Structure 1
């Protein structure tokens, strides 16, 4: 049963948080102490990215030689280098996707814990104005903030999945270009001294650079799309900070999510008995 107090009970968020290690999330109590630490599964990199780079290096020499013999110069090398430079590790994004998905699950589970605690322990055993006040606090303040956190984590997981998919598709396209064109350039470079062989080499160079240019355009389109999604998420995170921190700035301290003082007044709590139920 609640006890009276000169100060109403408060729910606050600590101004400074302890740094967390990889795959960890701290849950804090109202006094800013770590109440629980959630550890996420450690995910191993399957080595896909290293294998892609290794295979592209294997065929990069013949492609570079072929471009040199065809006389395209620095322009061709720059396009080729740009394609290689944009190859990335998609599993960095998939790991972030899985982590945010797990955080979303923990947030939703915690919100249900709060509601079930209220409906199992408070609502059946107590009635009165304080019970109604507590329910309004849970519904319109605490659970609402759980929902905001859950929505952000859900969108971050979705955005990371999209980036994982786009990076993987780009990597596979670049990998295919190198593995297909490497042997062709190697064979044509040996024939470049012959006029017909040189024509074939220059033709293949044009095909390769056209494919590379198309792939780079695809990368720019992906970058712009994802930049827009991340900008939208950043705005939502700023809205979230506004809900949790004074002025939306953690340096200004956490908002006081105080419970109405009536909750602490024993006069507003009435125990449910068989006669009164």
Structure 2
């Protein structure tokens, strides 16, 4: 029986590509026949992995690449009904259920009201989120912050396309204002697509998942930091041109 889902992830820089290789090996062992779609700056790392579709990708986010996982999800949904988005620094330690099915829309295992997530952070961020909700004709009360290290997007009569398009706009808007984290963008995009946040269908997958949060411990060399500064300038100017095409929304 053809599977209705695949996994997808984002791997930018050598450490994350190495981690994604381990994830691919885990899926080959514990979920035979399941594809892993990787959006990566080093696609040749996966040439020996028959269960991987490696798509060349360069970072689009101005400061961070987290929101770039939307490209991997879009690719996954062009091939499968459901895209299980998982962080590259994740290991699968047991057999993945073959019969997983997800309701249309977005399925998560953790979410909060977005202002509750930011209540102990800068007030500036909350003000930015309120302004964004007004621009999108949303009530901030309807917007959730979504735990982004594991969630599922399932086709929903075209609403998934609206979701990806809104995620693109929101990610750019928040990135330019220094509000980081794809959980914020995902929440706004889901609300605009008219989706309710669904829970309870990831428990079996959570039972065989180990997330290492390795990004918190990775240190960048001086050379890497210099390259990032130069790349930042390029990405900033490129994305700035996009915002000028929709001046009313972004400014």
Query: Into which bin does the TM-score normalised by the smaller protein fall?
Result: under 0.3
Greater per-residue helix proportion = 1
Structure-2-length-normalised TM-score: 0.23
Structure-1-length-normalised TM-score: 0.22
Larger Rg belongs to = 1
The structure with higher relative contact order (CA 8 Å, sep 6+) is: 1
Greater per-residue strand proportion = 2
